[in-house]
Amino acid sequence: MECLAGFVILPTAASPIMRSSLFCAPKKYRNAVVVSAKLQHNDDDPLFRAAVSRASLRFQETHRPEPLFVDPYAGCFVPLSVEADMKHQLHQYCLATKFIDDKLLTTTNNIDGLKQVVLLTDGMDTRPYRLNWPTSTIIFDISPERVFKKAAQKLEDVGAKIPRSCLFFHVPSESPYIQQTLCSKGFTGNRPSIWAFQGLPVMTLASFEEFLSIVSNLAMKGCLLLGELPAWLAETEVGIKVN
């Protein structure tokens, strides 16, 4: 596989630093932002807490006077105690989110026919619902199943919808058969694909290398791999090569 990688390391668990966007949220989305936080999160689940923390950052960014992006669904994930802070300072995670949003849309809009997008996430990624995907986009979300199921229910409760011209599938990150599951759900290696890494829990170098192996096995020449690398991973030989 010959794959173009676009990773940037930030001091926190977020990474890419980016700029302008193709995605411009309609005013109706801003008005529809779910301000009230209704999800009773499980304090004993570190993966759930981490996902809620990222959702809180997107919630706060959405309510800035001039937000980098608008996530109309982030509010349904965060605790009731979280309120929109109009003085919220720009966070590196939000810069990374902006970059990934832009790159996903720029790339998919330049692909003819079927577009394949693989999101490696924390289970609360709202991109399948909030981005203006082009026709014939198939989106795969690889994330912890227990987090994804709770998030999917909340998104359904607030009326989030996948664009009619697109397909969306979840693949549990805990599965030992991720590659086979992707293919069984329609992923094809002889079509262009873009892989975005943001939020997926990666605790060891071995687990990160395993995901790189999946990308290497499935992605055709000229695919795009981008996203965030945890700070600890940047210090490893693999992290340096990817960056």
CATH number of domain containing 96: 3.40.50.150
The beta strand positions in 99-241, using DSSP E, are: 115-120, 137-143, 167-172, 193-197, 223-228
In this prediction, residues 60-66 reach a mean pLDDT of 92
The answer to whether the beta carbons of residues 132 and 23 sit under 8 Å apart is: yes
Residue 79 lies in a domain: no
Percentage, residues of the chain above pLDDT 90: 64
Residue 16 lies in a domain: yes
Q: What is the pLDDT, as a whole number, of residue 44? A: 79
Residue 238 lies in a domain: yes
Residue 132 lies in a domain: yes
Of 185-189, 205-209, 223-227, 231-235, the poorest mean pLDDT is in 231-235
User: What is the span of the domain harbouring residue 11?
Assistant: 3-23+91-242
Q: Which span out of 27-41, 112-126, 198-212, 225-239 was modeled with the highest average pLDDT?
A: 112-126
The answer to whether the beta carbons of residues 120 and 195 sit under 8 Å apart is: yes
Residue 160 banded pLDDT, cuts 50, 70, 90: very high
What DSSP line would sit under 187-242, residue for residue? --TTS-EEEEESS----SHHHHHHHHHHHHHHPPTTEEEEEE--HHHHTSHHHHHH
Q: What is the pLDDT, as a whole number, of residue 135? A: 96
Q: What is the mean pLDDT of the chain?
A: 82
Number of domains in the chain: 1
Residue 86 lies in a domain: no
Residue 36 lies in a domain: no
Residue 98 lies in a domain: yes
Residue 71 lies in a domain: no
Q: In what order do the strands lie in the sheet with 223-228?
A: 3-8, 223-228, 193-197, 115-120, 137-143, 167-172
Which structure tokens are listed for 97?
Answer: 């989110």
Q: Quote the DSSP letter at residue 236.
A: S
